[in-house]
Amino acid sequence: MILSEGRVEPSTIPTLYILDICVVNATKLSEEALEANARKAALVKSLRDLDKPHNSISYFLALLEKTFDPRASLSVEELEAQILNDVATMRRFFINAKIDESDALLIGIMRAMKRQPCDPEQDIHLEFLRDVNSLGLANPVARANRLEMARKILEKADSLSISRQHPTVLLTLGSLYGNVNARKVIKFKADTNVFSAENAFADISIILRFLQFKFKTEESSDDHGRSYKRIQFLTDDIGLAGVLECFMGYEERVVGQDGIYQTMTGTYEIDFASLVTEIDKGPSETPPTDRRNVRLLSEYDLLYDMILGRPNLIHIQL
């Protein structure tokens, strides 16, 4: 099991643990299945260690995964039955920790999301991922060619009116520059017919939804008298957990008001230097006073300037 913010002794801090669907499914495994799978057995043991009265367990992210699964073709009624079965299993598994959401709340959220139209930007991001996959990103790109490849990726984003700072673009650049976790999330394929842009975008969306949920929950925790002081995302996906560590914060602000309705915008903060792992990050030379000399920039500096600007932290407004 991977904790989103590093390992902390679970008995020390009241924590809300947010489970992804793979971790939820682990709570359903029989003793026979666990005996045959040491990795899953270790995961289940870790979950039992978290089963403390002061901890809480959230199904919210798993709910989002199920609701927005691009491979699923379930009716609303079938999806509701699956969700209720999942949560009932979790309540049997966690004897001491509290399940944070009621059945009625989860089903209400699912039905509300199903009534909403599809994200109008989703198709654009899927097109972007398919197009950059066709550039040959399934295989490592020679170091000498990476900056030019990055330029092609950014130009493709521009052509689709996708922000150069959007996580879909940044994770693609991370994959280009050898970030193993980013490559595991996007899973570029040499065979374009095998590549699943839907699965890649679903994982990227989960990262963003988790950060948004974490921010809102932390903001409202004291107001609603909740006892947990820490929020962690539990996943069995090493790539997803590794990429999440590059995301350092989230803030929201109101950008519009129409009567009682507000338009919100979210800003995500990313440690870009940790995302592009195989790149020359050497310091730039001090600009000489002799104008005949030219300041030399590292490849990291050049790439960063192409994306946004000079600081080491990217603030992404979506």
Contact 235, 4 (CB under 8 A): yes
As a whole number of angstroms, the distance between CA 14 and CA 121 comes to 37
- Identify the pLDDT of residue 272: 87
Exposure letters 17-50 (e unless 16+ CB within 10 A, then b): bbbbbbbbebbebeeeebeeeeebbebbebbeeb
As a whole number of angstroms, the distance between CA 25 and CA 206 comes to 17
Contact 61, 69 (CB under 8 A): no
> Considering Cα of 156, then 162, then 165, then 166, what sign does the dihedral take?
negative
- Identify the pLDDT of residue 261: 46
As a whole number of angstroms, the distance between CA 272 and CA 314 comes to 7
- Identify the pLDDT of residue 42: 93
Mean of pLDDT over the chain = 82
Location of structure tokens 């991001």: 125
- Region of residue 303 (left: phi > 0; alpha: psi -120 to 50; beta: else): alpha
Contact 2, 234 (CB under 8 A): yes
Task: Say which DSSP state 163 is in.
Answer: -
pTM confidence score: 0.77
3-state secondary structure 97-140: CEECCCHHHHHHHHHHHHHCCCCCCHHHHHHHHHHHHCCCCCCC
- Identify the pLDDT of residue 113: 82
As a whole number of angstroms, the distance between CA 170 and CA 113 comes to 27
- Identify the pLDDT of residue 219: 65
Residue numbers of the chain with a pLDDT score lower than 70: 1-11, 70-71, 117-120, 218-228, 249-266, 282-296, 309-318
As a whole number of angstroms, the distance between CA 268 and CA 249 comes to 6
- Identify the pLDDT of residue 64: 86
Q: For 235-286, how does the pLDDT look when each residue is reduced to its tens digit (9 = 90+)?
A: 888 898 899 888 876 565 554 555 544 444 567 788 888 999 998 876 544 4
As a whole number of angstroms, the distance between CA 227 and CA 56 comes to 9
Location of structure tokens 């399940």: 99
3-state secondary structure 9-76: CCCCCCEEEEECHHHHHHCCCCHHHHHCCHHHHHHHHHHHHCCCCCCEEECHHHHHHHHCCCCCCCCH
- Identify the pLDDT of residue 179: 95
